[in-house]
A and B are shown apart, each in its own frame.
Chain A
């Protein structure tokens, strides 16, 4: 199969959906003339023109709100945040407007909008540019939250997100844009809310999503050498969460580790742990473990970052912990 970059997979999804539906447009900082801060939208201005690929001032609150208004009035905006750290400037429009209009209007208005961009850390960028907010958005009813980990998933899920009639938060990673993966020619859709088994195994289940999937898979290679077989479930969507996929795997392995880049309090891992103890208590042979970012803002120094983020060492330790090894 053909191999393309993550950014190219996203671009294909954007291009295909924009060709198919005139109501779809792309708006954000540096998306047009600069071809995207991370070159996701390369060439799109040329193809679709400045009416549909729109550079904004640095005014996230304003252009997120303009997106919501346009969505309420029949368009299907794709709003790019240069990173989700900056979405906090706009979060009022995401939570108080996008997520609410359908419900507040008694179903009269809907909000088919995609807010997308990179999330979480990307090297030594300091505390304000290194935050994973998947759980923040996942907390809010009215939103759907997609966090793909491969070019294949990214393309299929972005197409589904653009076609979805509800607001979707679509979270990528600066560190994945150059990743290569197999993506078939032609169109396909991956439904929102369905997890994917990225590795089959029998001893322990790891549930994870987004960029951290790759750290987990690297840890699995190490664990394999020690004879430990791990099943890796990539959630792909953290709202809604595919709980059935988790229960099914846990019923087989009887041990669960959840890995994510967000901070621990009120995290996706906390939520999954609650559900698993409630629905699959009798199947667990050990308490659920998790690996998250440390409970601190991410500092700049590399040695502190290595210690603060989920890494191979912490993941293997957690896996051995649930195996009592």
Chain B
């Protein structure tokens, strides 16, 4: 265990200062560097367009009652998953909240397994047992969608703990909403992760509302990245409507993690275009506010750059869009045609022990 140095108020200001310097550097780099080329931009466009179309379809199918329960869409936040994926390896891990349709798609899972899960079918990525809030994929190192706000944040630190313990170079991305940072679990996890230098990146997807509660109404501290500074953790705000900004920040954080320098907190600022879930009319915000973010739409942003830099012709762009639409169609058909779990599935997957003696009366 590393020895904890004594901590003085001077150190605190120093930490603030170094953090500010690092932050300015990061932001300056974003402006100057053109490190992402054609291939990355086209991938970003395809992935974000896929997430958007998938979520629009899920919303429509929810209204048709093909999908039930709570259903939280990712529309507006696509640049976060896309930006992350540009700089991760398949060995890196992810864990997130119930707003979890996009992350496994980003990891590379075919959307049909997510759609089947939304339909409650046995072919879904959690065998129809998880539903919208509980996508999982061991194959893609996706450690799940979790339903209790804040509860999965220590899990993210624990996944990183195991990688460090085993000497793996992987980092864990632990996503959460802005509402989750007011939970004790967040603070306990940050403290231990920093003390033990765990290779985890805590990513706050700050879409500015937790259900109907805006960030300002939950605390005096509304610059959420600052919460990490209390634990001496490198902590930065990031523009979540720009894939490049997300990728840069995550790349640096991942490098720190892989070098054994410990965790990073990223507050990625974004916006959800839809209500909290399908049942929320979102009356607590103005149309103007929504419009302001839609004008910075990350998909349009990437598309504009593709066109500007002539990375693809109109035809090639259209081909990507057609491919995505076909994938979403395929996902729906796959979900429709798959069977529901058989009743004996009820007593499967509860314990690893195959002959566990359940109470059966």
Contact = CB atoms under 8 A, between A and B. Distances in A.
Contact of A58 (B121, B128, B210, B346): B210
B131 A128 contact: no
A307 B343 CA distance: 7
A29 interface: yes
A299 interface: yes
A317 B182 CA distance: 48
A299 B126 CA distance: 10
B347 interface: yes
Interface string B206-218: 0000111100011
Interface residues of A, number: 40
A290 B361 CA distance: 7
Interface string B66-89: 001110000000000000000000
A166 to B, nearest CB: 26
Given A57-B219, A124-B120, A126-B134, A297 B147 contact: no
A191 interface: no
Interface residues of B, number: 46
Instruction: Give the dominant DSSP class at A's interface.
Output: loop
B208 to A, nearest CB: 14
A300 to B, nearest CB: 3
B182 A59 contact: yes
Nearest to B117: A300
B211 A30 contact: yes
Contact of A55 (B146, B183, B217, B359): B217
Nearest to A86: B148
Contact of B131 (A34, A61, A289, A300): A300
A302 B359 contact: no
A79 B131 CA distance: 30
Interface in A289-325: 289-290, 294-297, 299-304, 307-308
B129 A29 contact: no
A125 interface: yes
A37 B218 CA distance: 17
Interface string A98-125: 0000000000000000000000000111
Nearest to A263: B359
Interface in B258-308: 284
B69 A58 contact: no
Given A89-B150, A297-B350, A34 B128 contact: no
A297 B348 CA distance: 11
B69 A124 contact: yes
Given A30-B213, A59-B183, A89-B151, A128 B133 contact: yes
A303 B341 contact: yes
A58 B182 contact: yes
A265 B182 CA distance: 34
Tell which of B120, B146, B340 has the most Cβ of chain A within 10 Å: B120
Contact of B120 (A263, A294, A296, A302): A302
A217 to B, nearest CB: 22
A281 B211 CA distance: 53
A33 interface: yes
Contacts of A126: 69-70, 130-134, 147
Interface string A6-39: 0000000000000000000000011001100100
A264 interface: yes
B346 to A, nearest CB: 5
A301 B129 contact: yes
B339 to A, nearest CB: 10
A296 B360 CA distance: 10
Contacts of B122: 301
B128 A57 contact: no
A117 B128 CA distance: 28
Contact of B147 (A30, A128, A296): A128
Contacts of B120: 124, 300-303
Interface string B131-158: 1111000000000001111110000000
Closest 5 CB pairs of A and B: A300-B131, A57-B182, A301-B120, A128-B147, A124-B69
29 contacts: A30-B211, A30-B213, A33-B212, A33-B284, A34-B211, A34-B212, A57-B182, A57-B218, A58-B150, A58-B218, A61-B183, A62-B184, A86-B148, A89-B148, A125-B70, A126-B130, A126-B133, A126-B134, A128-B147, A265-B359, A295-B358, A299-B128, A299-B130, A299-B346, A300-B117, A301-B122, A303-B341, A304-B343, A308-B346
